[in-house]
Amino acid sequence: MAPLSGHTAIVTGSGRNIGRAIVLALAAAGADVVVNGHRDRDRVDAVVAEVAALKTGAAAIGVMADVSDPDQVANLVKTSADAFGRPVDIAISNVGQRRRQPFEEITIDDWLQVMATNLNSAFYLAHHVLPGMREQGWGRVIHISGYDGWTGHIDQRAHSVTAKAGLPGLTKALAREYGPSGITVNTIAPGAIATERDPDQYGHIDIDDVRKRLAIKHFGRPDDIAAACLYLAGDSGRFVTGQVLHVNGGEFMF
């Protein structure tokens, strides 16, 4: 069974961790996929090779693009459509910076860069894929946010928390406007997921303390977020739009 056969998906920031898991899940379901990275071409190429190894018939290409730059996002979408001969109809904004800085040390440039990467990039991707989705009467847009956009439980991340809180607002606006065109738009908010992280940004977190707060007493995996994306991207998610799906092991309940 290949329920997403005939669809083309872009997943930004998909050279590792959650993005990589999403790409592999979509490809396993038959979607052609675009693996995106910014700095590390080797990681992107490795994920493309993993898709080929699945032998599901899904194709993959790697496209390097800094999605905080609107011109590069425009090229990313055009390259993807040209490669597969059809519009991108599954767009997943996953890229993000999680910079930890005391508020008074956040410069204007710091603020603008984090907002461009974490929030503006989602607008840029939607801006370039939604016309094609509307024309064909089907599409899926998914924003990967984070639960600190709701809880504010991590200090010294004013820019990141603000951007993550903005994503569900964009989700609701697009869901309302594009629902009549057969397009769903949703946000997934990962919680404590075991990923490769920059220790400089997470050294202050007590892992055992986080685990104690979880209703399910273990960290999640990138595959858990990928499964949520697969649910929303397929027919299973056809009546779900404008929503936030929290995948956090019950650490916070909304």
pLDDT of residue 98: 84
Residue 202 has pLDDT above 90, yes or no: no
Residue 203 has pLDDT above 60, yes or no: no
Domains with residue ranges and CATH for the chain:
8-247 (3.40.50.720)
pLDDT of residue 235: 96
User: Which tens digits make up the pLDDT trace of 167-195?
Assistant: 999 999 999 999 999 999 999 999 999 98
Contact 76, 50 (CB under 8 A): no
- Position 139: which residue type? G
pLDDT of residue 197: 61
Give the SS3 label for residue 49: helix
User: Which tens digits make up the pLDDT trace of 131-145?
Assistant: 999 999 999 999 999
- Position 147: which residue type? Y
Closest by CA position to 31, among listed 91, 74, 76 = 91
pLDDT of residue 121: 98
Res. 42 pLDDT band, cuts 50 70 90: very high
What is the C-alpha to C-alpha distance for residues 223 and 130, in angstroms, rounded to an integer?
A: 27
What is the C-alpha to C-alpha distance for residues 43 and 33, in angstroms, rounded to an integer?
A: 15
Residue 68 carries which DSSP code? T
What is the C-alpha to C-alpha distance for residues 43 and 35, in angstroms, rounded to an integer?
A: 10
Average pLDDT over residues 79-106: 96
pLDDT of residue 154: 81
Contact 151, 108 (CB under 8 A): no
pLDDT of residue 106: 97
pLDDT of residue 210: 87
Strands lying side by side in the sheet with 8-11: 60-64, 32-37, 8-11, 90-93, 139-144, 183-190, 244-247
Residue 1 has pLDDT above 80, yes or no: no
What is the C-alpha to C-alpha distance for residues 30 and 75, in angstroms, rounded to an integer?
A: 24
Average pLDDT over residues 159-174: 96
Res. 198 pLDDT band, cuts 50 70 90: low
Neighbour count for residue 3 (Cβ, 10 Å): 14
pTM (2 d.p.) = 0.95
Residue 120 has pLDDT above 70, yes or no: yes
What is the C-alpha to C-alpha distance for residues 90 and 184, in angstroms, rounded to an integer?
A: 10
Average pLDDT over residues 85-94: 98
Average pLDDT over residues 103-128: 98
Residues 6+ apart with CB under 8 A from 126: 91, 93, 141, 170, 174, 185
Contact 224, 247 (CB under 8 A): yes
The b-or-e profile of 170-181 (16+ CB within 10 A means b, else e) is bbbebbeebeee
Residue 201 has pLDDT above 60, yes or no: no
Contact 48, 63 (CB under 8 A): no
Residue 104 carries which DSSP code? G
pLDDT of residue 207: 84
Q: What integer best gives the mean pLDDT of the chain?
A: 94
